[in-house]
Amino acid sequence: MPRILDGTAIAAAIKQEVAEEVRQLVAHGIRPGLAAVLVGNVAASEIYVRSKVQTCADLGLFSELITPSADTTTEAMLDLVHGLNDRDDIDGILIQLPLPAQVDTKALLDAVDPDKDVDGFHPVNAGRLQAGRPALAPCTPAGILEILRRSNLPIAGQHAVVVGRSDIVGKPVAMLLLHENATVTICHSKTRDLPAVTREADILVAAIGRPGFITAEMVKPGATVIDVGINRITTQAEFDRYFAGNAKREAAFAKRGSTIVGDVHPQAFEVAGAYTPVPGGVGPLTIAMLMANTVRAARMRRGLPQRSA
């Protein structure tokens, strides 16, 4: 039986550690603070941002939710970001994506002070990460590394295959794995004979955005499979493709009219030695690492050593 890597439990442990760190900082007069910027009213973004703000409250961080209207402009958003860069009570700035089409997303992300860039999206942090300097690493990739480390799964010397090369998941997770001495292959939509490459993976990371894309034949028996994908499915035909015979899922699907499937087909998990389920695998780590990054940023900005240092 493959081992299930319980992201919810790992995220809970990290959050507990962050809460303890926050208590210690508060005792020294420092309360790490996160500004969350949510533009307009995209339902999914609202859910994500509200749970980030709630987690700040749970762990003792200061947070401020800023909600510009959907018709905001690049100029107004740049003013907002510059103001947050200058505020001493704000250690981290989170701009929830996607932004409305009229806002220049790149200009805005580039305007965030790299030392407050808790999403790790600023080119300066991408560069620091590549150069192996202390940086604010993107949350989901950093969370994947925490899952592997805290599950005592070996990374050094392993062949890690990352499918997906986005700036927010694929590239940074590949870089983090490389720094941990994995031999890393990055695949994308132009990769030739993808199954032959993925079958070589001791650690297979799927960050593609296509439901059930990685099938059992693409996985080396015993591999560690990290499924980053979050894909909502709504039709019975799709449901049957992934979850036929799964009574528990069927009941939930019937009740809600939708369910989530990752980028890995559930049957492929059965070939793995260990895997992250969807939901309950990588997802919970993203918020936990955002909290950890905010505390890290608070320390960095004040020249304090990091907890692990």
CB 138 within 8 A of CB 172: yes
- Indicate if 58 belongs to the active site: no
Shortest reach from residue 7's CB to ligand NDP, in Å: 9
CB 55 within 8 A of CB 16: no
CB 180 within 8 A of CB 145: yes
Rounded Cα gap, residues 114 and 44, in angstroms: 26
Shortest reach from residue 183's CB to ligand NDP, in Å: 19
Place of tokens 């019937």: 254
In the complex with ligand NDP, the residue whose CB is nearer, 18 or 186, is: 186
Stretch that binds ligand NDP, among 101-109, 124-132, 207-215, 218-226 (CB under 6 A): 207-215
Range 175-204, binding ligand NDP (CB under 6 A): 187-191, 194
Place of tokens 């600023």: 122
Q: Which of 2, 40, 100, 209 binds ligand NDP (CB under 6 A)?
A: 209
Q: Please give the C-alpha separations between residue 143 and each of 10, 154, 164, in angstroms, as whole numbers.
A: 9, 16, 17
Which pair of tokens denotes residue 100?
């409305």
Q: Which of 160, 163, 205, 223 binds ligand NDP (CB under 6 A)?
A: 163
Closest residue to ligand NDP, judged by C-beta, is 166
Shortest reach from residue 162's CB to ligand NDP, in Å: 9
Instruction: Tell whether residue 105 is a contact of ligand NDP (CB under 6 A).
Output: no
Range 246-305, binding ligand NDP (CB under 6 A): 263, 282-283, 286
- Indicate if 52 belongs to the active site: yes
Q: How many binding residues for ligand NDP (CB under 6 A)?
A: 26
Stretch that binds ligand NDP, among 38-46, 71-79, 95-103, 164-172 (CB under 6 A): 164-172
Q: Which of 15, 91, 96, 227 is labelled catalytic?
A: 96
Instruction: Tell whether residue 73 is a contact of ligand NDP (CB under 6 A).
Output: no
- Indicate if 306 belongs to the active site: no
Q: Which of 91, 117, 119, 227 is labelled catalytic?
A: 119
Q: Catalogue the long-range contacts made by 195-204 (C-beta closer than 8 Å, 24 or more residues apart).
A: 197/161, 198/161, 198/163, 200/159, 200/161, 201/159, 201/160, 201/161, 202/158, 202/159, 202/160, 203/148, 203/153, 203/155, 203/158, 203/159, 203/160, 203/161, 203/177, 204/160, 204/161, 204/163
User: How many H helices and E strands in the chain?
Assistant: 12, 11
Q: What residues line the site for ligand NDP (CB under 6 A)?
A: 140, 163-166, 168-170, 187-191, 194, 207-210, 228-231, 263, 282-283, 286
Q: Which residues are catalytic?
A: 52, 96, 119
